[in-house]
Amino acid sequence: MEDRKPIIEIKNVHKTFGDHKVLNGMNVVVHKGEDVVILGRSGSGKSVTIKCVVGLEHPDKGSIKVFGTEITTLTNKELNEIRPRIGFMFQNGALYDSMSVRQNLAFTLKHHDRNITDEVMEQKITEALDNVGLLDALDKMPAELSGGMRKRIGMARTLIVNPEIILYDEPTSGLDTITAREISELMVAIQKKNKTTSLIITHDLACAKITGDRIIVLQDGVISAEGTYAELENSKDPSVHSFFI
């Protein structure tokens, strides 16, 4: 089936920093239109995984295919041809503090399409902010935004170039429980509206439960279990069940 087409394929990926082995034979397949959560404790290799997917880190060994293309052998120029199809939402939103919300979004659009007209740019900025419920923040500076608002603007900036894949790095970290839930629900709404494929890195169980079609547990650089939230919550494996206590 077309809708089960593999979009991200990670096979036997190893990554070491100095004497510290972070990934030790990582295997993950994400299908088109799927929201997959990688759940793990701090230092388990979650963020390194998605940085390898987008080419920000290079594995020591193994294969990573995105849209069917082996990215581990691509030049930086070739990677840059694929990256516009991949949205990366950084943990802190990664907004430019010296630019307004409008300018942050405009900068992303101009970088993506140098020939974009002012009219089209304004339309896309308005639409992106409307998608995350923050049209009234158009001319605010990042310092004027709450943590939750910064996350939403970060999502708007990711969405504004219509990526086919969205990589989320700890999307609810640093947020209170209510705001974290709102962000998680917004991620699901975005996936349904835009038919995106998402790989979500988190240690937040509530976020994993809301967003994950499938949840993968990463321990010691390898996948120790995968399934739905309910399946993993009821696992008899003590090392997996310990996440849900």
pLDDT over 90 at 221, yes or no: no
What local confidence, expressed as pLDDT, does residue 2 receive? 46
What local confidence, expressed as pLDDT, does residue 1 receive? 39
Integer Cα distance of 174 and 147 in angstroms? 7
Q: Which residues pair with 202 in a beta bridge?
A: 39
Going by their DSSP bridges, the two strands 214-219 and 222-227 should be labelled as: antiparallel
pLDDT over 90 at 184, yes or no: yes
pLDDT confidence band for 30 (50 / 70 / 90): very high
What local confidence, expressed as pLDDT, does residue 241 receive? 79
What local confidence, expressed as pLDDT, does residue 165 receive? 95
What local confidence, expressed as pLDDT, does residue 3 receive? 53
Among 32, 19, 71, 41, CA closest to 170 = 41
Torsions phi, psi of 132, nearest 5? -105, 10
Task: Note the pTM of the prediction, 2 decimals.
Answer: 0.89
* pLDDT, greater one: 44 or 49: 49
**Token duo for residue 54:** 């987008």
